[in-house]
Amino acid sequence: MALRDPNFSKDFKRLVPLPDCNSLKFALLEGTKSAFLLSDQSYELLTNTVHEENITQSLIVPEIHRLRALGFWPENVVQHEVSEKYISVSLHLIHGCNLACTYCNVQQGTYGEPLSMMEDSTAYAAIDFLARIRNGRFPRLIFYGGEPLLNWKVLTHATKKITSLFAERAIEIVTNGTLIDHERARFLADHDIFTIVSMDGPKEVHDKNRPMKTGESSYEKAREGLEHLKEAGVRFQIRATWAPEYACYDDVLVHLCGLAENSRRVTLAIEFDKAGTEAINVYNNILSDKFRQAERNRAELPNTIYQYLDQVLRADWAPVPRCEAGHAGFSVTPQGDIYPCQVSVSKKRFKLGTVWEGINAQGREKQREFLEHSFSMCDTCWAKPYCSGPCRYAKPLPDNWPYCKTVKLHIMEALKFIARTPSRDLLMTYKQPEISGKQFKAFEQGCALRDILWKHNHHIKPLPLCPQNGISP
C-alpha cells in the first residue's frame, strides 16, 4: 500500500522529526512529550528525503497500532502542572547578606533596600497563607535571603510552626554556609531541612566569585559549615556557578565532589546572563565531552541532565517544565509582601498582595499577566515540550541565545542515553525513596510493555518508560 492513504498519512505525520544526530534519529508525537527512536528509513520518509516506494505503509501501520494499543501513542494530550501537586512559599528572612557575590541577581542580597529582617509574626502569617492556598497540595517552605541564617531566631520559630501545622511537608534552605555551626547543623538535621549550599570551587576560585562583604575570604567558613552538615547527617546539595575565566571546569567539579563525598550532591552550572557567548560555548563543549566520556567508560552523566531524562521517561506524566513562580511558588518579603519570585522582588514588579490579605483582586490581574507572558521565538522550537523557557525578565532575547543551545544539547543527550540504555537500567532512575511502591510498580509494568514494543517495532520505538494513556505513575 502506498503512503497516499489519508488515514496513514495523518497518523504518521503526527511525528515531528528532531534534528538529525547521525547514528540515531528521533521524533516527537505532535503536541506531546512522547518521543520515539526512528529507523533511518522512517526518518527519511518523514523528512521527505526518500520516495514513498522505498518504505511501504504495511511496515509502519502495525507498529502504530501496537503503540496505540499499549498506550504509547496518546490521542489526547494529558498535561500535569507542578501546581497540581505542590505549592511552595519562599520566606525572605532577611534582605541583607554577609557576602558580596559577583554574579548576584538581587543586589548582593539587599534587593536594592536597606537591611531588613522578617519578624516572627510575618513568618507565621506567611505559613498561614501557605495553609490557605494549599488545597490539598504538598506544602514546601523555603528559607531564602540574602543569607537566611542571619535571621536564625525566626528560622527556628517558623520551622516549628510549619512542623506543627503539617504532618507531611518539605523544608529547604538556600545558604552560603558560612554561618553553620554544630548546633545549627543539628537543628537542620533534626527537622529534615534540605540544605542547598552555594560553593564555587577551590579557595582561590570560590573567593573570587563569593568574597565576604569585607573583602575577606569566605571559603574556609563555608567549608567548615559543610563539614558540620555532614557530621550531623543533614541532607544537602552543593550548587556551584562556574566562571570560565577563573578556573578549569574539571578542577572545580573534582574539588566540590571531594567536599561533598558524593558526585550526585554537586550541581555545577554557568551563569548564562553574565558569562557571554564564548564562555557558554566552552561550557557546552565541556558537557559534550563529558557525555561522550560517559558513553565510552560508563562514567556518571553530568547532574544537569537528570531533569531532562525525567521529562523524556515520564513524558506527559511529568509536570509541565516551566518555572514555578506565580502558580506553584511565591516569595514573601521581610515586610510580608507576596511576589511571584525573588527576581520580581528585586525588580519591585508584580506585587500580588500581602500574607495577611492574600492575593487581592489587583494581584490576581498581575498574576495572570505574569503567567501569560511568553516568548514568540519559543513557539516554533522543537525543544519547547521539555524546556522551562527563559526567565520572563530575560529580554529582549538575542538571536541564537546560548541558553537555548545548552538546553537542546541536554535534551538530545537525554534522548540518546535513553535510546541506548536497557529498560531495566532506566527503571532504576525511579528507585528513589520518594517514589512509592505503587508508583514504582507502575513503572515496572510500563517497562515490560515498552520492551514488548522494542522487540516487535523496527521503525518506531517509544522512549517513555510508561504508557501515556491510563493512570499516572
What residue numbers bound the domain in which 12 lies? 6-79+436-462
In 110-166 the beta strands, taken as DSSP E runs, fall at 116-117, 138-144
Task: Tell me, yes or no, whether 31 lies in a domain.
Answer: yes
Candidates 391, 433, 353; CA nearest to 170 is 433
Instruction: Name the percent of the chain in helix, strand, coil, to the closest 5.
Output: 45, 15, 35
332: which strand partners?
91, 338
Q: What is the pLDDT of residues 139-187, one digit of tens each?
A: 999 999 999 999 999 999 999 999 999 999 999 999 999 999 999 999 9
Task: Tell me, yes or no, whether 448 lies in a domain.
Answer: yes
What is the value of pTM for the model shown? 0.90
427 touches 465 (CB < 8 A): yes
- How far is CA 67 from each of CA 297, 348, 414, rounded to the nearest angstrom? 33, 50, 21
363 touches 352 (CB < 8 A): yes
Q: Fill in the amino acid letter for 366.
A: K
Candidates 176, 310, 335; CA nearest to 240 is 176
Separation CA 63–CA 60 (nearest Å): 5
Candidates 141, 154, 139, 140; CA nearest to 93 is 154
Task: Tell me, yes or no, whether 440 lies in a domain.
Answer: yes
Separation CA 418–CA 313 (nearest Å): 8
Task: Tell me, yes or no, whether 66 lies in a domain.
Answer: yes
User: Structural domain tally of the chain?
Assistant: 1
Per-position DSSP letters for 385-409, written without gaps between them: GG-----TTS-SPPTT-HHHHHHHH
Phi, then psi, of 220 in degrees rounded to 5: -60, -40
- Write the DSSP symbol of residue 302: P
| CA R_g for the chain | 24
Task: Quote the cell numbers at residue 76.
Answer: 489526547
Q: What is the pLDDT of residues 88-141, one digit of tens each?
A: 999 999 999 999 998 888 888 889 889 999 999 999 999 999 999 999 999 999
Task: Tell me, yes or no, whether 217 lies in a domain.
Answer: no
Q: How far is CA 23 from the centre of its chain?
A: 28
Per-residue pLDDT of the chain (473 residues; tens, 9 = 90+): 344 556 677 889 899 999 987 789 999 999 899 999 999 989 988 888 655 555 677 889 899 999 999 999 998 878 888 899 999 999 999 999 999 998 888 888 889 889 999 999 999 999 999 999 999 999 999 999 999 999 999 999 999 999 999 999 999 999 999 999 999 999 999 999 999 999 999 999 999 999 999 999 999 999 999 999 999 999 999 999 988 888 888 899 999 999 999 888 999 888 776 666 777 888 888 888 988 888 888 778 888 898 999 999 999 999 888 889 999 999 999 999 999 999 999 999 999 999 999 999 999 999 999 998 777 778 888 999 999 888 888 766 666 677 888 899 999 999 999 999 999 888 887 766 556 677 788 888 889 999 999 999 999 999 999 898 766 66
Task: Tell me, yes or no, whether 74 lies in a domain.
Answer: yes
Cis check for the bond before 146: say yes or no (omega within 30 of 0). yes
Separation CA 114–CA 117 (nearest Å): 10
- Cα four-point dihedral sign 100, 103, 106, 112: positive
> What is the dihedral angle through the alpha carbons of 67, 70, 74, 77, rounded to the nearest 10 degrees?
-150
Task: Tell me, yes or no, whether 48 lies in a domain.
Answer: yes
H helices of 219-331, in order, are: 219-232, 249-260, 272-275, 277-297, 306-314
CB atoms within 10 A of CB 73: 25
Candidates 166, 261, 182; CA nearest to 225 is 182
Task: Tell me, yes or no, whether 38 lies in a domain.
Answer: yes
